[in-house]
Amino acid sequence: MAKWVSSSALFGAPDLVTTLGGDWTALSADAGLSISENPDPSNLIEVAAFTRFLALASERLDCESFGLLLSQNQSFSILGSLAVLLECADTIGDSLKDLAAYFPVFTMGALIALVETERGMEVNYELAAGTGLPHRQITELGFGILVKEMRRHISGWEPDYITFRHAPPESSIYHRQFLGEVIHYNADRNSIFIKRADLDRPTQVRSPSKHGELAAEYSALREATPGTVTAAVETIVRAFMAQETIHLSKTATLLGMSRRTLQRKLAEDGTSLAEIVDAVRADLALSYLQESRLKVTEIAEILQFSETSALSRAVMRWFGQSPRAIKGGAPISIIATQSKAERRSLAH
């Protein structure tokens, strides 16, 4: 099943492409985007096409930080009415919890997970499985927007640290300017850590009545949106991947439902926990092989393979190429990264 996002995600992109000397019409068309220079937020675009556009723009405009630069033209306002809900929360921490809870209503093409500790909160952000496309640009776009929003509340703010799954850029000037000084690459997750004192800061609007009204609306929308359980399971699988291959009982407990209910809801979405784990492994394996400097042995460890040969067999099954070939730039079959439900839809 294709994943969609509001065309507001392209806000500022035509101007940035033009500024960098590119042709917006040609670039957007080559990415599979049929859209004007003034996108209507009510229109939806495929997440895969949006991700492809970011990658093509970076390559053709010779701008390795295209997504990060685009983030400076955007804000949470691209989220529509969800941005209003976030503004009405009591604290920055509450606002981020709302963002993670209701983000699937905006799109299920990307996933947000929060990990809280006594020191603060780690915000994890990932492109959802299934595109077979590079992650770097969309990840840096998302983190750039988040840091920009934090600085709107707290002047000069910097995160405690940021981690990226991909390799470091050739030049880190924009990363230091727009993200902060402490950035780790080739990591086991994409994350931003926000200190507890910053989370406890009040938002600029703070309207309990408006927040309650919008939260009720978004809760209803989330319940009515197909695929939200599958998205939640994928988020959990990704969060635990570097530590363990999570089992059904633990996943169900984390989601506050029984094993049987979780199995039924996943079946209604045409998938299962095993399929989601396999899809996440495939997605992360491809991302690491194409975008990081990690060794195959290190990738196997992160993805919970018992040995490198097991990862190699899986990569061959998923993409029809060996890990070494993919690292060398060999083309892969995108259909191998798609779920059974997606493959069935393509066959009819």
Encoded tokens for 11: 């806000």
Provide mean pLDDT across the span 43-52. Answer: 95
| pLDDT of residue 340 exceeding 80 | no
Distance of CA 246 to the CA centre of its chain: 20
Encoded tokens for 16: 């940035």
Coil, helix or strand at residue 228? helix
What would the pLDDT profile of 218-246 be if each residue is shown by its tens digit? 999 999 999 999 999 999 999 999 999 89
Encoded tokens for 230: 């599958």
CA neighbours closer than 13 Å in the CB half-sphere of residue 84 = 11
Task: Note the pLDDT of residue 243.
Answer: 93
Query: Predicted confidence band at 319 (pLDDT cuts at 50, 70, 90)?
Result: very high
Q: What is the C-alpha to C-alpha distance for residues 176 and 68, in angstroms, rounded to an integer? A: 11
Task: Note the pLDDT of residue 3.
Answer: 93
Task: Note the pLDDT of residue 335.
Answer: 46
Encoded tokens for 248: 């059904």
**Who's near 212: CB < 8 A, 6+ residues apart?**
none
Paired with 193 in beta bridges are 122, 161
Query: Predicted confidence band at 254 (pLDDT cuts at 50, 70, 90)?
Result: very high
CA dihedral angle for residue 15, residue 20, residue 21, residue 27, rounded to 10 degrees: -70
Paired with 91 in beta bridges are 202
Q: What is the C-alpha to C-alpha distance for residues 212 and 300, in angstroms, rounded to an integer? A: 45
Task: Note the pLDDT of residue 136.
Answer: 98
Provide mean pLDDT across the span 35-40. Answer: 72
Q: How far is CA 79 from CA 7, 134, 145, 201, 347, in A?
A: 10, 23, 11, 22, 33
Task: Note the pLDDT of residue 339.
Answer: 46
| pLDDT of residue 348 exceeding 90 | no
> For domain 226-348, which architecture applies?
Orthogonal Bundle (1.10)
What would the pLDDT profile of 158-177 be if each residue is shown by its tens digit? 999 999 999 999 999 999 99
The residue count of the chain comes to: 348
Task: Note the pLDDT of residue 193.
Answer: 99
What would the pLDDT profile of 273-285 be if each residue is shown by its tens digit? 999 999 999 999 9
Encoded tokens for 216: 């009720």
Query: Predicted confidence band at 37 (pLDDT cuts at 50, 70, 90)?
Result: low
- Greatest Cα-to-Cα distance within the chain, rounded to the nearest angstrom: 57
| pLDDT of residue 345 exceeding 60 | no
The full set of domain ranges for the chain reads: 65-199, 226-348
- Within a 10 A sphere around the Cβ of 173, how many other Cβ atoms? 9
The mean of the pLDDT values for the chain is 94
- Within a 10 A sphere around the Cβ of 129, how many other Cβ atoms? 24
Which position has the token pair 């209503």? 105
**Who's near 155: CB < 8 A, 6+ residues apart?**
none
